[in-house]
Amino acid sequence: MATSENYKRWLESPKVSAKDKEVLKAMSQVEIDDAFFKDVEFGTAGMRGILGPGTNRLNEFTVKKATVGFAKYLLEKYPDAKTSGVVISHDNRHMSREFTLLTAKILSEFGIKAYIFDSLRPTPELSFAVRYMKAIGGVMITASHNPKEHNGYKVYDETGCQLVPDKIARLVDIIGELPNELEVEYTPVAKPAEVITLSKEVDDEYVRLVESIVLNNDLNKKGFKIVFTPNHGTSYVNAMRVYKDLGYEVYPVLSQCDPDPDFSGTLSPNPEDPRSYIEPIKLAKEIGAQLVVMTDPDGDRCGLAYLSSKGEYKTLTGNQSAAMLMDYIFHVRQERGLLHKDGVMYNTVVTSSLGEEVASYYGVKTEQFLTGFKFIGNRIDYYEKHGGGHFFEFGYEESYGCLIAPFARDKDGLQAITMYSEMALYYHLQGKTLDMVWEDLGKRFGYHEDQVYSIAFAGSAGDQQMKDLMTKLRTNPFIELDGNKVIKVDDYQLSLSKAKDICKKIDLPKSNVIKLYFEDGTTIAVRPSGTEAKVKFYIGVKANSLKEAEAKPKLLYEKFKALLGI
């Protein structure tokens, strides 16, 4: 249906509130185009979009349609769906609680028992709760680290893992067979199922398991100060509880601790955005803290800043922090005989090559997947059920998410801040700051620098621009950049890896990602985001010095854009 027809349908529908119709009437043509040119859809992290009226928006109608589809999917797939139930959680955003209660009500009226929390909880605890309650699915209402105008809807299977493509395909088909979002109806069962508020037992067990992952809790914590912020999100209560139990001296950024949907105390809730560190670093300077840790609003990602050897506060990328943490954990486990002989580390095709080098140093294998932690969670479950000689040691993505112990099946910000704090303290007691640790890694494995850049696109014209960009690159991938030739191309949409005259099949689900490998070891991966209207460029280099490595990605990005005509 055309944009104008969708817009008219909403404007004339008696189901759309007078308030929303006023919003619709005030829209510019550009806003109408963006709100109605397509249906909001599931990407790498579920359904995510701007809040408000429209087919390409998150609202009660699009959430209702998704939930009706999910209910039908569960009843079709699981004989015990009604009795096993679904766990639902939410973050701090506008409409999150309302969408949670709406989801619970619809599932209940399909006869499916629903479990909800008494208030907001982090994504990894939702993943854990699905497993703990032996439910057959989960729903997390969150837009993760996106701006305040957004919200989202993520679905989980019985393992506590987000639905992977071969599972979500049927759900997408079912949703596609439903009437449009304004016309979706269903007949409630005669006796709706219970909607049960979960007890504190779930929180207690989740926190206990997080605390059980520590390796060196007897380290002297006196004088080691940590600043923590949950970015107005879901992690405050659990994080402060863990820090108190483990005996750390922690100073929360009080202006960012309330679950404020407008994020009024921060310029950004995203650990990838330098603005998110302004207030935490300000507090760190006041009290002389050695470490700053933060989680994003739904508590699955973790960002770090630290007091450097030069007395300045510096931040770390997700690739840097994960490589250092992996090296620390594997080193301690190896010393204590705790590394499994068939250990495996999981990451993604857009993460730094440094992670694999660190893992290999400790005799740990690496498996790579497409972007999306669901692929890692799904693989953990696969080996647990089918064997195959793989034992999970660590999993991470470049986007500030990692998992240390798989009692949750999504990246876990609480596990991350717990172990990053221990790692930083461990090195602090040796007289090392984290820039010194990073320098040591460079001396051992070469100086790696990986940066992510992105270009935003809006509306139907922007959507077409993204498609044209990928088509152009796919048509002529064997390019030369700064005198450096591409020697291999991995095209995950075509499932082909090409090097000269050699062509190999890529045994991963299809995804619109192209990765270029250059003669000097540089890699550039290009991927349209699955959750936002933007294209991401992942540039990884390896150099002989830290200075050379740090300067190279930005230079290559600018030249790459020029080559593509952007």
Give the pLDDT confidence of 410-438 residue by residue, as tens digits.
999 999 999 999 999 999 999 999 999 99
Which H helix or E strand runs over 175? Answer: helix 165-177
Q: Which residues are catalytic?
A: 144
Average pLDDT over residues 475-502: 92
Contact 409, 127 (CB under 8 A): yes
The β-bridge relationship of strands 86-90 and 114-116 is parallel
Contact 411, 124 (CB under 8 A): yes
With a cut of 80, say whether residue 532 has pLDDT above it: no
**CATH (residue range 3-198):** 3.40.120.10
- Residues with Cβ within 8 Å of 481's Cβ and at least 6 positions away in sequence, in order, are 518, 524, 556, 559, 560, 563
Distances 257 to 93, 228, 249, 288, 350 between C-alpha atoms, Å: 14, 9, 17, 20, 32
* CA–CA separation, 560 and 529 (whole Å): 18
Backbone angles phi, psi at 32, to 5 degrees: -60, -45
pLDDT confidence of 1, banded at 50, 70, 90?
A: low
Q: What is the mean pLDDT of the chain?
A: 95
Q: How many CA atoms lie within 13 A of 530 on its CB side?
A: 16
**pTM for this prediction:** 0.94
DSSP string across 365-418:
EEEEE-SSHHHHHHHHHHHHHH--S-EEEEEEETTTEEESSTTSSS--HHHHHH
pLDDT confidence of 389, banded at 50, 70, 90?
A: confident
Average pLDDT over residues 234-238: 98
Backbone angles phi, psi at 309, to 5 degrees: -65, -20
User: Residue 459: its pLDDT value, please?
Assistant: 75
High-pLDDT (> 90) share of the chain, %:
90
Least confident of 108-122, 192-206, 527-541: 527-541
Q: Quick check: do 3-198 and 216-445 share a fold?
A: yes
Give the pLDDT confidence of 401-411 residue by residue, as tens digits.
999 999 999 99
Angle between helices 60-77 and 165-177 (to 10 degrees): 120
Per-state percent for the chain, helix, strand, coil, to nearest 5: 40, 20, 35
Q: Which residues pair with 397 in a beta bridge?
A: 401
**Angle, CA of 10, 12 and 17, to the nearest 5°:** 70
- The fold of 447-564 is TATA-Binding Protein (3.30.310)
DSSP string across 206-263:
HHHHHHTT-S-TTS--TT-EEEEE-TTSS-HHHHHHHHHHHT-EEEE-GGG-S--TT-
Q: Where along the chain do its domains lie?
A: 3-198, 216-445, 447-564
Backbone angles phi, psi at 393, to 5 degrees: -115, -35
Q: How many CA atoms lie within 13 A of 290 on its CB side?
A: 23
> What CATH number matches the domain at 216-445, 3.30.980.20, 3.40.50.300, 3.10.20.600, 3.40.120.10?
3.40.120.10
Contact 154, 146 (CB under 8 A): no
Give the pLDDT confidence of 439-483 residue by residue, as tens digits.
999 999 999 999 999 998 877 788 888 889 999 999 989 989 989
User: Residue 44: its pLDDT value, please?
Assistant: 58
With a cut of 70, say whether residue 45 has pLDDT above it: no
Of 350, 356, 355, 340, nearest to 375 by C-alpha is 350
Amino acid making up residue 266: T
With a cut of 70, say whether residue 531 has pLDDT above it: no
